[in-house]
Amino acid sequence: MSDPGGVSTIREATVADVDVILDQRRKMFAELGRPADETEREAMIGRARPFFEAGLGDGSYRGWFAEVDGRVVAGGGLVIARFPPGPFDPIPHRAWVFNIYTEPAFRRQGLARQIVETAIAWSQERGFGSLSLHASDYGRPLYELLGFKPTNEMRLMLADP
Ligand SMILES: CC(C)(COP(=O)(O)OP(=O)(O)OC[C@H]1O[C@@H](n2cnc3c(N)ncnc32)[C@H](O)[C@@H]1OP(=O)(O)O)[C@@H](O)C(=O)NCCC(=O)NCCS
């Protein structure tokens, strides 16, 4: 791991951070090229705004940022949904890791790892039995390092991607 070159701190996101979260989400999907068309991508980001505004307010979205010298350079969060308890999940909620993004100049300094570890610790303290996510090719090595394993999830697409 290289030196971040400044003091890094992790802080929790508030409702005032919606634009920062959407900007990181925009950059994440731009890097992944999904969807390929920029106008469609921007429309997708716009459709997500009410979700994050409401979620940060009612706790169904939890976000964390890594700041270096007071500037946000990485972030990520958890989508939390009511879900029936099951074999792995003793409480009536499940959580999905979301929006993990580090600015290119700050990569391989352990910032995304700190954010995901913060989300894991937060979830463990509240009795969650598992965390799920969809991994990009960039993110997969980080998640494997932290112990995430592939599952038996399947998906039927109901609209053109
Ligand atoms: C994936 C991403 C968030 C990683 O952010 P990061 O801050 O650079 O990750 P970290 O420095 O915390 O990585 C911790 C460890 O994960 C692994 N890792 C992270 N990025 C890796 C890469 N590109 N290749 C191989 N291993 C990688 C390494 O083991 C790394 O430890 P090391 O640097 O000591 O070897 C970043 O590359 C990114 O924003 N990518 C574009 C958006 C994206 O794909 N997000 C994930 C969506 S699921």
Q: What is the pLDDT of residue 151?
A: 95
pLDDT digits (tens, 9 = 90+) for 139-150: 999 999 999 999
Type of residue numbered 152: N
- What is the average pLDDT across 2-22? 86
pLDDT in tens, 90-125: 999 999 999 999 999 999 999 999 999 999 999 999
- The CA distance from 63 to 77, in Å, is 4
Distance 157 CA to ligand 1 centre (A): 28
Q: How far apart are CA 148 and CA 151, in angstroms?
A: 9
Give the pair of three-digit tokens for residue 38: 């920029």
Which amino acid is residue 21, in one-letter code? I
More confident of the two residues 76 and 160: 76
Classified as helix, coil or strand, 93 is strand
**Reading across the β-sheet that carries 131-132, which strands appear in turn?**
8-12, 61-68, 71-82, 93-102, 131-132
The pTM score is 0.96
- For residues 64 and 45, the answer to whether their CB atoms sit within 8 Å is no
pLDDT over 70 percentage in the chain: 96
46-91 pLDDT tens trace:
999 999 999 999 999 999 999 999 999 999 999 999 999 999 999 9
Identify the residues whose C-beta falls under 6 Å from ligand 1: 1, 28, 31-32, 74, 100-102, 107-113, 135-136, 138-139, 141-142, 145
